[in-house]
């Protein structure tokens, strides 16, 4: 049996938030579900690559922000998810 590395509390919170986003996406229309899953996956991957793992304050900030966004996404009034890319020039 392969041994698993033990996750820290912060890592478990991030993974749990990711799973909650995917569960919330299931409640939306099928086409929007795929779009939400794509956005969420890209955002988590980008943060995993660009955020220093020892920057606990920033990770906790991202968790709080993510939880607020998740609550908005869970709302029945929310139909779509959009993104904003700061610093990119429109093409």
Please indicate, yes or no, if residue 29 is contained in any of the structural domains: yes
Domain count, the chain: 1
Condensed to tens digits (0 to 9), the pLDDT of residues 38-73 reads: 999 999 999 999 999 999 999 999 999 999 999 998
Biggest CA-to-CA distance, the chain:
50
Please indicate, yes or no, if residue 47 is contained in any of the structural domains: yes
Condensed to tens digits (0 to 9), the pLDDT of residues 6-42 reads: 888 899 999 999 999 999 999 988 888 999 999 999 9
Query: The whole model's pTM is what?
Result: 0.79
Please indicate, yes or no, if residue 59 is contained in any of the structural domains: yes
Please indicate, yes or no, if residue 36 is contained in any of the structural domains: yes
Whole domain around residue 67: which residue ranges?
12-74
Please indicate, yes or no, if residue 26 is contained in any of the structural domains: yes
How many whole angstroms separate alpha carbon 63 and alpha carbon 82?
18
Query: If DSSP codes are grouped into helix, strand and coil, which group holds residue 59?
Result: helix
Please indicate, yes or no, if residue 3 is contained in any of the structural domains: no
Please indicate, yes or no, if residue 68 is contained in any of the structural domains: yes
Please indicate, yes or no, if residue 2 is contained in any of the structural domains: no
């Amino acid at each position: 049996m392969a041994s698993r590395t033990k996750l820290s509390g912060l890592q478990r919170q991030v993974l749990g938030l990711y799973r909650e986003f995917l569960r919330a996406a299931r409640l939306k229309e099928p086409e929007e579900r795929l779009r939400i899953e794509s956005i969420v996956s890209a955002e988590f991957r980008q943060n995993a690559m660009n955020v220093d793992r020892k920057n606990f304050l920033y990770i906790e900030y991202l968790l709080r922000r993510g939880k607020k966004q998740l609550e908005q996404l869970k709302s029945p009034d929310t139909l779509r998810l959009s993104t904003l890319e700061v610093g990119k020039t429109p093409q």
